[in-house]
Amino acid sequence: MSFQYEDMKKIDRKTLGKEVPLELFRSIRLIGMYQGLPLNGKSTTATIGRKIGESLPVHSVEGALNLFEELKIGIPRIIEKKDNEFHIAIDECFCKGLPKQPGNKVCDLEGAILEGALEGIIKKRVRAREVKCNVNGDECCEYKVKTYEV
């Protein structure tokens, strides 16, 4: 079996349409993956996220960030940009409103999606590190994205 990202948009449901509720996405992420996989799914989540990121039909950093918002993962904005590093804040992240659990950051899949998408665009190794998260009690979610020559 091999589906492409474009196949994911071929939806034919008369009554239920194309949306599923955010609580289902959260359940997959935070109950299924986080609690169901060994070591909170750390490496599996990174693998899944990068694979999804690679499959996205985006050709610019801006395009990748726009799609991130279109998919309603969150609204990204670049808050700092240096040569090999940028710093991205995510407003209205999928995790917003969850009960706070200080010491925990839960948006690693979304960071890995960014990694996969950006690697294809800038042709460098990309690593996104979560530095803030709503669940941790921060005012928004944030990633430090570093790029490395391959």
Binding range to Zn ion, per CB under 5 A, among 10-18, 30-38, 42-50, 105-113: 105-113
In terms of CB distance, is 111 or 116 closer to Zn ion?
A: 111
Binding residue for Zn ion, selected from 61, 64, 95, 126, defined by CB under 5 A? 95
Cα–Cα nearest to 92, from 68, 116, 113:
68
Q: Taking CB under 5 A as the rule, does residue 107 contact Zn ion?
A: yes
Q: Taking CB under 5 A as the rule, does residue 30 contact Zn ion?
A: no
Token pair for residue 150? 């391959």
Q: Taking CB under 5 A as the rule, does residue 73 contact Zn ion?
A: no
Q: Taking CB under 5 A as the rule, does residue 64 contact Zn ion?
A: no
Residue whose pair of structure tokens reads 């939806």 in the numeric block: 11
Min separation Cβ 69 and Zn ion, Å: 14
In terms of CB distance, is 56 or 95 closer to Zn ion?
A: 95
Binding residue for Zn ion, selected from 52, 56, 67, 141, defined by CB under 5 A? 141
In terms of CB distance, is 89 or 118 closer to Zn ion?
A: 89
Min separation Cβ 82 and Zn ion, Å: 23
Q: Render the chain in DSSP notation, one character per residue.
A: ----HHHHT----TTTTT---HHHHHIIIIIIIHHHSGGGGHHHHHHHHHHHHHHS---SHHHHHHHHHHTTS-EEEEEEE-SSEEEEEEET-TTTTSPP-TT----HHHHHHHHHHHHHHH-SEEEEEEEE-GGGT-SSEEEEEEEE--
Q: Taking CB under 5 A as the rule, does residue 67 contact Zn ion?
A: no
Report CA-CA distances (Å) from 51 to 45, 66, 137.
10, 18, 29
Residue nearest to Zn ion (CB): 93
- The contact set with Zn ion (CB under 5 A) reads 93, 95, 107, 141
